[in-house]
Chains A and B, each alone.
Chain A
């Protein structure tokens, strides 16, 4: 049984300017100990996916489909039960570490509150002891427990946010663009840290990013999202070296690589307006291979050589 199974997930947002189709029937799974990369641009639905799984979408979102974590359907759980599960079975790290930090609370108190609420520590002292040990393993000096978030550097704040996500030893961590706001060298430190966590703690992860290179480094498999739909899903090095979906292929070709060609091949056009997505395959207006069928009919997700791809031409 997969640790996480997302089945036919649909999310729409009602906005003043119309209904946004954020996710349209996405299915995927994360296995025990696996890092699944989720790659997409803004508007692809990748962040919506993360928030939908942990049920933190705003009230304006309409959600359909099922999210099974360890066989339990998170979609039908009451809020009270969810609070127990968040942090303990599934937790989330965001791009901005302040999303999980309270600016007027000392770092240590974040851990104390979390652990005592979930019964992971009996006393304040015990919680601080566990937190100190965890932070040290994540490269933050224990003395930082006494500091407030603003006294830490950006990299340390993100390490603390990761520490909070790991504190209750959840089965699944959702990481949403966790290195995007960081400078290059700090980003590298966090990438190295994620790899280490993967090795040491064997935590399963849903690693959401716009950066294909990042996914190639940390993920086992990758799901490529385009305009709210799954374009391709497979073993990461196979996808990177031999992309099947024309979008994946175009995306890889448009990324500059040091030592590689200096002539980039940009994807033509613009991503679709998700209030009014194109019919058929959503990539067809930008696809060099598009046929009449692509313009009319949505391509089903089919298996090809151990990989899933949604394309009339390549499927």
Chain B
């Protein structure tokens, strides 16, 4: 049994990057924050990059300013010489910074003001994933931290997070962009006199769907971004490589519900096929009982006996409470076992269902010790 348990402290002491991923609503952000806090209190210099933390958790970590820079978290035990910084990703600002770094001031100004850019940088479904990876690359390059813990965006599917950066990179660097560039280079007005039949058809269709004005806007936007294209693909590739390096570990987060476990299974399989280093599965919100020797059946029978005799109402009610909890615990254990049977090589650690949401460092610390199996 022991070798099936994810050794969290060893991971926290050795990893350089930990990526937490999983379906929405499974506690990714809390898990990432708890891991980062524990690593810092074990003596490492840590940065946690969160995407969309709940308000009160963000406040407790001092994440009140959206300035896209890691800030020291107050209240972290520093006895072992560790340190914790936290930041919340500002997707648009990260994109703006790339533009500013890679183009001269005049051109940067044009790009930042283009309505197409504004839309792409603030609402494209893959931009958040791309920028999370971009930011991770930047933080890593700064070299200030022993460990960076990343929380991934609440994707439609957990896999988006692996694909979106490359998709955006591919688009920005792709054939379609070159076609769109051609008319702008030729002077804007001439853009329907393009070269081959295929390209002509392509622009015709785009004109029909989008309207001529939109196509012109897009074309100009693409032209003004041109200087940066090569860079995009390269950066997406670099970050992807970073994820494959030995110091990187993926932690898949789930809860014992069918959908979340199915998503976790996809992710585990995908990581394996991409040869990405999977540390293991964190199973949040697992119901357990401190009296698991008393089964659902015996508990219900005992409660029924008392109820029909009309005696001991408190004991009868408490037995009902226990039966409900044991039923949930049994269900959760069954689902966890189904996952483990299908993925016997994946190490797992359970975190018990908490009474309420976690919104302070004490709560994160408690989760951290549960993760490490020391609570």
A, B bound:
no
State the A residues within 8 Å of B (CB).
none
